[in-house]
Structure 1
Amino acid sequence: MRGIEAALKVWQDVKAGKFASESIRSVADSLSPGDLVLASSLVYCTLRRQFLWKEIYSHFLRVSPGGISQYAGDALCLGTAGILELRTFVPKVLVNGLVQELKKRGDERGAKIVNAVLRRVAEEGWLQLKKIEESGAPKDQALAAGVPGWVVSSWRNSWGDQGKKLLKMARIRPYSSFRISPGTAPGDLSSAAEKKGIRCWKSPLVPNALRLAATIYPPEFPGYAEGRATPQTESSMLVGEVMKKVYKGGSILELCAGRGIKTGHILSLFPDARVESFELSPAKSKAAMREMERLGKKSNHIITTGDALSLVPAVHPALISLDAPCSGSGTWNRHPEGKWRLTPEKLDFLASLQINLLRRAVSLLAPGGIVVYSTCSLLKNENENVVAQVISENANLVEMSFPFSGARFRKGRPWGTYVWPELPWLDGFYMAVIMKKSGGKAIDG
């Protein structure tokens, strides 16, 4: 399989509901390193601003978009993105590759249309791109940033002038960062990475973390296979660092373990604590167990598959991590498919779920216990509104001061704190530290 063929396959998988990273992993073994880079770069640059590319190629399309095959439409979108954003690839080679793929599928008409339109894009598309990027119209700003228009409106309402900065940050190309396990010197892995041509250095923001100057396939990084290095954004790592700052001893409960990335960090930060994790998805639960095996961390830890809204921990926890299922709006640079699947209705559903999960978390807390509520979202509906709702219902709850400050943090309005996604290693995150006063009671079921 070649890179352009792989990119078209992955694009179709994403349209069918898969995550791009999942689909790319499924074809990685059949690609050369160069073709893997081409396919990944092409898919992600297209996904981040797919409606912008459709707007541009439609300007040169002389037939109705409904009058071409779906596959030709995919080729036009990928080709336009590749020509206008991936400057390292020769447009003629990209166009010819896409045309040949259409011919292999027997779509001769589509091949001719794609050839003609993409050659016009290569000649004049940059003028259309410049016009849109320089426009002050809300629709054009949303297209240029690669953010749904209704989300742009939400950011403006929540952040005012700061919302404009979020639109610029939405175009930052994400880079990899790795969490280094205890007992491993970051400098040793950094040196090993440099020998493989991977440029990296210690993070000034998070202890025991390395920043890379690019995005990398995790197994290629030294120490990954042995469990000494784990890909994790610095924003995500900060959740564990916040827990470490507020921890006063006792059992720890993780309400939504996901695939176990934060679980591994929690276990490394609290090696002597009893840690229990809940995860609704059997597939994610199995992935978390495999992650614990890779890290060599199975003692003092229990993963239970089931609904966190009804499961009961073996011991009342003193500290709970609730990394709630969310829109992922703070990670859209890294996982761009998510933004095109989010609707206002789905956001309302997520906010309702988050409120119920936070209610459940504080109900399970022992008196004096603490819950660290977090999302990888920049939408107020999932953050301040959730915390405000739950705190207003329970007089025994109080928000604690956030233990970090600095240029990368923004105070919520009024609850919680945001990690601002202004660097390639930082996703947009939100955290709130909530304590149950000693007068409160924990429930038993």
Structure 2
Amino acid sequence: MTASRPTFNPARALAVRVLTRVLTGETFAAPALDAALAEARLPARDAGLATHLVYGTLRYVLLLDAALTPLLRGETPPKARALLLAGAFEKLVLGTPPHAVVSEYVNVARMARLASPALVNAVLRRVARPAETEETRYALPGWLIDVFRRAYGERAEAVLADQLQPQPLWLSLSSAGVRSLEAEGSVVEPGPQGVDRVVLARPLRESAAYRCGQAQPINPASMAVVDALGDVEGRRVLDLAGGAGVKAALLAARGARVTSVDVIARKHEAARANLKRLGLRADLLTHDLTQPLDLPPAPLVLLDAPCTGTGTLRAHPEIKLRLTPEAVEEMAALQARLLPNAAAAVAPGGVLVYSVCSVTRQEGERVLRDFLATHPEFTPEAVPGLEVPHVPAGEGVLTVPEAGLDGFFIARLRRTA
């Protein structure tokens, strides 16, 4: 009689492979996971497990490392480290029964050849929650904890805890999109800034609403940046550092005549494809915004500047593993070069919206303060249409990254001459 061969859930092996690439700095989680899932074609339940393991492990990695380090000697190979982190996440955070965790990950190690089964067995049997410190409680380095405390004061503890929660799916939907998703069995709950919180019955790209251009993923805090421009119908708008053109598409949907500018040409390919899916159009321009723009001044200009992304740690938890205080200063210096060139593109009497998806003072409050000190022709105005929770931040506001929202610095300026 032949002994049965041990089995394992392929979702765990996929998650470990993705985690290995992300933790070694090769890639970011979202594109790596999307590509791996597209190739593997796992059933929906297994794809959900792989997604939860990747993002959950990355959110808690500082706590998990503190738990694993006393049990390891010497340098742990990247694949073995990723596997042990995922197993520790299941055992210590998800509460998967310890015997099941050990069995599953030993089988993954053996059959997918990702680590020594004996090492996995020994470590996952013994791993336990480490002594609590601020860094293990919030799974953040101390300097980033200080950033959030400076930004949100008495609200900081709730904000920090919320960064460890899964990111919900936010969609800007047409009425037809809502009906279509609900007909498929998805749950649609209205949220701030006209953006709906959605629990899907099937993968987003397989939904009729997405395929028919009735759905656009966007966080409500990001939508608040678009809303800060006010009424755009029939008006010319420059969308600077526009990336993949999501904000350009939303502005075009409101009737604006949009030119989206970015330094990376391949991002225009994604923008073009998304605009086509939505049945919209915008002009796309490749340009380095550290240099002046050769375009006629526009009445409305949006600079959603490249930043450290500290306001998006829930959705992009790998950021906290790579970011340094020095990188914050470098990014603030870049933004300080971009903002005057964006300002020069604003017509007299026009509006400039400056935003970053970061909560550091250097990138938001300080960049704007220094700009206003040398550009008296710009006057700060209240940011209109804000439905998301927010706190004051110098001459702008910071959205509060709780309940699935991102943290954005947003400022609206009027050119008076």
CA contact (8 A) 2:193 2:220 kept: yes
CA distance in 2, matches of 1:296, 1:392: 42
Q: Does 1:18 align with 2:27?
A: yes
CA 1:279 to 1:106, structure 2 compared with 1: closer, same or farther past 3 Å? closer
1:143-162 mapped onto 2 (5 Å cutoff): 143-162=136-155
- CA drift of 1:153 comes to 2.1
Instruction: Judge conservation of contact 2:184–2:201 (CA < 8 Å) in 1.
Output: no
Structure 2 residue matching 1:297: 3-state secondary structure: coil
Q: Secondary structure of 2:337's partner?
A: helix
Residue of structure 2 in register with 1:429 after alignment: 408
Aligned partner of 1:376 in structure 2 is 357
- SS class of match (1:223): helix
**How far does residue 310 in structure 1 lie from its aligned partner after superposition?**
2.4
Please tell me whether residue 206 in structure 1 is matched to residue 185 in structure 2: no
Q: CA contact under 8 A between 1:421 and 1:428: conserved in structure 2? A: yes
1:92 aligns with 99
Count of residues in correspondence between the two structures: 406
Question: One-letter code of the match for 1:165?
Answer: A
Residue 320 of structure 1 is matched in structure 2 by 301
Q: CA deviation at 1:150?
A: 1.1
2:290 aligned with 1:302: no
CA distance in 2, matches of 1:19, 1:80: 21
| 1:344-373 deviation line (CA, Å, top 9, x unaligned) | 111111101111111111122111111111
The alignment yields a C-alpha RMSD, in angstroms, of: 2.3
Aligned to 2:3: none
Letter in 2 for 1:265: L
Letter in 2 for 1:252: V
2:74 & 2:62 partners in 1: Cα distance? 13
What is the CA-CA distance between 1:407 and the residue it aligns to? 7.0
Q: Which amino acid aligns with 2:182?
A: E
Q: What is the letter of the counterpart of residue 33 of structure 1?
A: A
Relative to the length of structure 2, the TM-score reads: 0.90
CA distance in 2, matches of 1:107, 1:417: 47
- For residue 171 of structure 2, give the secondary structure of its aligned residue in structure 1: strand
1:136 match: none
- TM-fit CA distance, 1:49: 1.6
User: What amino acid sits opposite 1:103 in the alignment?
Assistant: R
Shift of 1:293: 1.2
What SS does the corresponding residue of 2:197 show, helix, strand or coil?
strand
CA distance in 2, matches of 1:284, 1:107: 34
Q: Secondary structure at the match of 1:347?
A: helix
Is the CA contact 2:312–2:357 (under 8 Å) kept in the aligned structure 1? yes
The amino acid across from 2:406 in the alignment is: D
Q: Which residue of 1 aligns with 2:6?
A: none
Distance change >3 Å, CA 312–CA 141, structure 1 → 2: same
Q: Which amino acid aligns with 1:325?
A: P
CA deviation profile, 1:211-242 (whole Å, cap 9, x unmatched): 12479843144410111101111111111112
Q: What is the 5 A alignment of 1:244-283? A: 244-245=230-231, 250-269=235-254, 271=255, 273-283=256-266
For residues 175-231 of structure 1, the C-alpha deviation after alignment (integer angstroms, 9 at most, x for no partner) is: 011112xxx31xx4334323433211222x223x32124798431444101111011
Q: CA deviation at 1:265?
A: 0.7
Shift of 1:162: 3.5
Alpha-carbon distance, 1:105 to partner:
5.9
CA distance in 2, matches of 1:321, 1:306: 15
Residue 41 of structure 1 is matched in structure 2 by 52
* CA contact 1:146–1:170 (8 Å) conserved in 2: no
Is the 8 Å Cα contact of residues 249 and 318 (structure 1) preserved in structure 2?
A: no
Indicate how the Cα distance of structure 1 residues 390 and 26 shifts in structure 2: closer, same or farther if over 3 A, else same. same
Task: List, as ranges, runs of 4+ consecutive aligned residues in structure 1 with deviation greater than 6 Å.
Answer: none
Deviation larger for 10-19 or 386-395: 10-19
Given that 2:265 and 2:286 are in contact with CA atoms closer than 8 Å, whether structure 1 keeps it comes out as yes
- Greater relative contact order (Cα < 8 A, sep 6+): 2
Query: 2-side partners of 1:146 and 1:358: how far apart?
Result: 33
| Gap runs ≥5 in structure 1 | 133-139, 439-445
Query: TM-score, length-normalised on structure 1?
Result: 0.85
Aligned equivalents of 2:267 and 2:202: distance in 1?
22
Following TM superposition, by how much is the alpha carbon of 1:397 offset from its aligned partner in structure 2, in angstroms?
Answer: 1.3
Q: For the Cα contact (< 8 Å) 1:388–1:415, is it kept in 2?
A: yes
Unpaired segments of 5 or more residues in structure 2? 1-8
- Secondary structure of 2:80's aligned partner: helix
Q: Is 1:75–1:98's contact at 8 Å kept on the other side of the alignment?
A: yes
Q: Is the CA contact 1:264–1:292 (under 8 Å) kept in the aligned structure 2?
A: yes
Contact 1:49–1:144, Cα closer than 8 Å, also in 2:
no
